[in-house]
Structure 1
Amino acid sequence: MNEVRTYKIPDEYFFRLHHVRPRFKNDVEEVLLYVATSISEMTVLPEKEFNDELNKVLFGFNKNSTSTKKTIDNWRTEISALFAFIQETEGHLQPGITAKRLANNQYLDEFFNYFLFSFQYPGGHIKSQNVIKQIEAGVRFKPCQFILQLLIEGEKLTGKPFSITAEELTQCAYFDLRVTRDNRHPKLVAELILENRAHNVEYEHKYQSLWNEKTQSFPSKGDVYRYAGDILDYMVLANLLNHKGTGYYYYLNSENKEAINFHLSHLVWFNEYDKYYEAENISTSEIGALEEIWFDYVNSFDNIEVFAPHLDEREAENISALIQEYYSRMKVEKKVPTKIFGDYGETLVLAHEYLRTKDKSNRQHLINKIPTQLGVGYDLQSIEIEKKKRYIEVKTTKSRKAINSNRFKLTPNEWDTAETLGDNYFIYCLTINEQGKNIFIIQNPVKQHELGNIKIDKNLVVEFSKTSGQWNKLLEIAH
């Protein structure tokens, strides 16, 4: 009988990386969208007042109304620390760019790309004493970029798509200073993983340094691997990775090469900690003073086009051909508008409107995107079959899984326009996820508000119910 081989990081190289783990991990997309939409218009407030307002928001999420204040405080801390939703200036807090962008765009894959782009160890997402431990250990590690490179190197070695588990990532890289401190090349890590697989090696996880005196036990495998697993899961939510199998093997999403290449070719680093690597003594107050700078740093990235959702080549070709077909039929106008493509959701709804009126009207030339700079209070001009116009404001939510998203923001201009146009004003709430693309159509939101079918707060955050309108499947061109 063959002896089972085990693999263990040598003690002198073992160092456990960790970060804040949100208690709402299973609902992370829904929670982040809810909070971002709620706080994005909050004003600059003293810390206590801002936190009190944010707590009210969190108490309003799902079943949180029965939660304790301590639980809500923990949620608030986790959201602000890990995801940088809040920026601080001289004791006053305000919503960060990360929160505002998510509230405005509602593209969760875009949000997680920004999050992963700046995420590093050490970083201001953990307590100062833990930052000091990472500095003293010499850790300098960008997990997203490393994981992408690791999977690429594995594919080069095997000649086929390469996947890893959270266990393999933890044991062969995440907790190994030869990687996180000494910059061991991802190719060598891929070779190690393949060698361990070839010999059916089991991984030793009960490290002495992880012994819990309180429980008198070692953590479970799941607890040991959860930090690497979190980052892998966030990379799935960013559409950088896919996963398969019950043991969750993670592999590159080959359809998102543009974003993957951007992460690999644009390496950024928060360097405010660098001067402390050679210091003999580091105080928590020194490191704590850098937190404000850290959150400003995370919120400094914006307008990265490759992170925003894009039509794939086939979608773009099909929609262009569809619109060209309709314009070629028109006697009054044969020129196709130049601004067909741009915003992802608006373009999909534009095609939907062409298909909705297919063969029922000769007025498709009136279906157009409206340039943002005109500020008319809607995104698209469409038509009704009976010679009327339909003015459409598009609100798109894009997530990995289906989430219960029934909230969006309006601008004062959009609300004023809705009041003016009445029954001709529509809001199309387009939801895109792995289950498909659907639109919730609200006609005359002002009237729906008066009827009590939608709620609107002082910041024009709209919350709709199933009585506010109706769901429709997005009409798409058959491939």
Structure 2
Amino acid sequence: MYDHTKQYRCTIIRGKSQKEMDDMLPAYAKVINEICPCNAEEFEAKFNNSFQLYLPESERVKKTLDNHRTEISGKLFGMYYFSEDGRVYESERTQKFLEDNDQPAFFKDICYKMQFPNGTQKISTTVADRIANDICVRPNAFLIKFLCIAKTANITVTKKEIGYYVLNSLDVLQGKANPYEVLEAVTQDRKAGIERDISVPGKASSYCWQHINEQMNYLELANLIRFTDDKCVILNPNETETIELFANDWDKKPEFDVYSYDLSTVEKRKIFQYEWDAYFAKISVCADKFATSAASLIVDVEEPAKSGQRKEKASVNLTEFGDEGENVVYEYEKKRVAEFNQRLVNKVLSLGKTKGLGYDIQSVIAEPGDMSEFVKYIEVKSTKRLTCPDIKDSLWVDTLNITRNEWIAAQQHGEFYSIFRVYFTRDGIVMFVLANVSEKFKDGRMQAVPTTYRVDFNNSAVDSVIIPEVS
């Protein structure tokens, strides 16, 4: 029998604000990709020296840098791991993010693999306490299932109710409750006019709610939930497949079995830590299903219009563009050129499907002056994230991949070559234009790091030929 009065504060590592998490993810990935693999004894100095460039001077202190390295990018996000060979490697999760630039997908994977107990916190105290209290749950899967049931019952639940009845409930955290009886407890208390809250004698509200706010922030960064103005929580109707995947796992045991480990000695705890870090650094088996469509980022969180009332549509219809930033830029360029001179519109060409060019769109300058009909070349790079980057933030950084052909085209076309960085966000589309890319590389405003190499060889390099037997 579910007893919601049994409360348990099941904390997670404290991160930063939602906006900071969105902004810092590319910086974490950039730094880790540049310095890994490296020897474990070098990792701290290399990370801290590189990452301090993305922090205000007041925060460039060892304690803050260590927190970004060990707690957030390491334990919370699983972006690297220590191997038993004495080296530090970037994780599969980091590699995938650098390839697809899909920030919500990154957070979906984090939320999907989140479990209690886990190896992100101090084993001898925090993890030991979780074990002593029989904690065993996939919290995000349970919560998503609970929200699905509430939606079916046409019940909108508040953030406060989720905190008290789900994320701070001992029965839920022990895997003893099911979401149906939790929703029943919520409705019964509502009928009785009872409003529950989380409180700890002598502690501020922030102490009681920090872990709950953090968990729900990550679910929103994962594009799975939204908050209404009256602090209710709704599921993103455009993420049905991922939501169903989470919900179907609500009653499954955590994938990593903490209870199978003997944590009685330092040496045994070290083995546990290595194995947890390696597990969490890998993407989940469902990661290929977590791709975020551009249209799914736009969610109407207002109350449905009453019968007979017309509701205005969102100002930006991302469905028109699909997931291709190239389409966005192509339509933008045609409109821009047409406003300058309709005769030049047919010079705007979408060439993304033509391999080897080094650019996606061929357009024209279309600005007053002698060069108005000169050709310009545009390479489009898209990314998806919940929030929009703040262009006024001098410490903000982003990272993208370009091919060898794109690099050559940037050098060849000079001031006539641009990269359009297209951001699909919950507020719509924004494009950052990086003009004259080659010049920016020369003056240091952009950096390029080679990440792949083409290896050519002939018969003189072959040491042996093996023809395996095939049964």
Displacement of 1:265: 3.8
Give the AA of the match of 1:409.
Answer: L
Contact 1:350 1:369 in 2 (8 A): no
Partner of 2:454: none
Displacement of 1:151: 1.1
Give the AA of the match of 2:260.
Answer: K
Give the AA of the match of 2:189.
Answer: N
Displacement of 1:390: 4.0
Partner of 1:329: none
Aligned residues: 410
CA distance in 2, matches of 1:440, 1:421: 19
Cα distance change on mapping 1:262 and 1:237 into 2, 3 Å = same
Cα distance change on mapping 1:143 and 1:354 into 2, 3 Å = farther
CA distance in 1, matches of 2:23, 2:242: 23
Q: Deviations over 1:410-443 (max 9, x none)?
A: 4461333311232342100223334432222223
Partner of 1:181: 174
Q: Residues 106-117 of structure 1 correspond to what in structure 2 (within 5 A)?
A: 106-117=101-112
Displacement of 1:45: 0.7
Partner of 1:164: 158
Bigger Cα displacement from structure 2, 60-69 vs 259-268: 259-268
Q: Deviations over 1:9-32 (max 9, x none)?
A: 54xx44321111125566221122
Partner of 1:369: 352
Displacement of 1:445: 0.6
Asked if 1:396 corresponds to 2:416, the answer is no
Cα distance change on mapping 1:453 and 1:289 into 2, 3 Å = closer
Unaligned 5+ runs, structure 1: 1-7, 208-216, 320-340, 461-479
SS in 1 for 2:434: strand
Asked if 1:409 corresponds to 2:429, the answer is no
Contact 1:17 1:175 in 2 (8 A): yes
Cα RMSD (Å): 3.2
Partner of 1:94: 89
Bigger Cα displacement from structure 2, 46-55 vs 427-436: 427-436
Give the AA of the match of 1:81.
Answer: K
Asked if 1:82 corresponds to 2:76, the answer is yes
In the superposition, the TM-score normalised over structure 2's length comes to 0.76
CA distance in 2, matches of 1:106, 1:78: 22
Displacement of 1:147: 1.1
CA distance in 1, matches of 2:57, 2:7: 39
Contact 1:242 1:250 in 2 (8 A): yes
Asked if 1:190 corresponds to 2:183, the answer is yes
Contact 1:113 1:307 in 2 (8 A): no
Give the AA of the match of 2:88.
Answer: L
Displacement of 1:148: 1.1
Displacement of 1:66: 4.8
Displacement of 1:242: 0.7
SS in 1 for 2:399: strand
Partner of 2:429: 437
Partner of 1:422: 414
Q: Residues 214-253 of structure 1 correspond to what in structure 2 (within 5 A)?
A: 218-245=202-229, 248-253=231-236
Give the AA of the match of 1:36.
Answer: A
Higher relative contact order (CA 8 A, sep 6+): 2
Give the AA of the match of 2:255.
Answer: F
Contact 1:237 1:400 in 2 (8 A): yes
Partner of 2:328: 348
Partner of 1:21: 14
CA distance in 2, matches of 1:27, 1:255: 25
CA distance in 2, matches of 1:136, 1:284: 18
CA distance in 1, matches of 2:14, 2:449: 32
CA distance in 2, matches of 1:442, 1:110: 25
Cα distance change on mapping 1:64 and 1:265 into 2, 3 Å = farther
CA distance in 2, matches of 1:234, 1:299: 17
Which of residues 116, 119, 141 is equivalent to 1:124? 119
Unaligned 5+ runs, structure 2: 299-315, 367-371, 391-395, 452-471
Give the AA of the match of 1:293.
Answer: E
Q: Deviations over 1:139-159 (max 9, x none)?
A: 2211211111111212233x2
Contact 2:294 2:424 in 1 (8 A): no
CA distance in 1, matches of 2:332, 2:23: 26
CA distance in 1, matches of 2:345, 2:325: 25
CA distance in 1, matches of 2:377, 2:88: 38
CA distance in 1, matches of 2:331, 2:407: 25
Displacement of 1:315: 5.3
Give the AA of the match of 1:181.
Answer: Q
SS in 2 for 1:182: coil
Asked if 1:138 corresponds to 2:165, the answer is no
CA distance in 2, matches of 1:317, 1:245: 25
Partner of 1:455: 446
Contact 1:164 1:251 in 2 (8 A): no
Q: Residues 32-47 of structure 1 correspond to what in structure 2 (within 5 A)?
A: 32-47=25-40
Displacement of 1:266: 6.0
Displacement of 1:105: 3.4
Partner of 2:291: 307
Which of residues 137, 144, 147 is equivalent to 1:148? 144
SS in 2 for 1:290: helix
Partner of 2:463: none
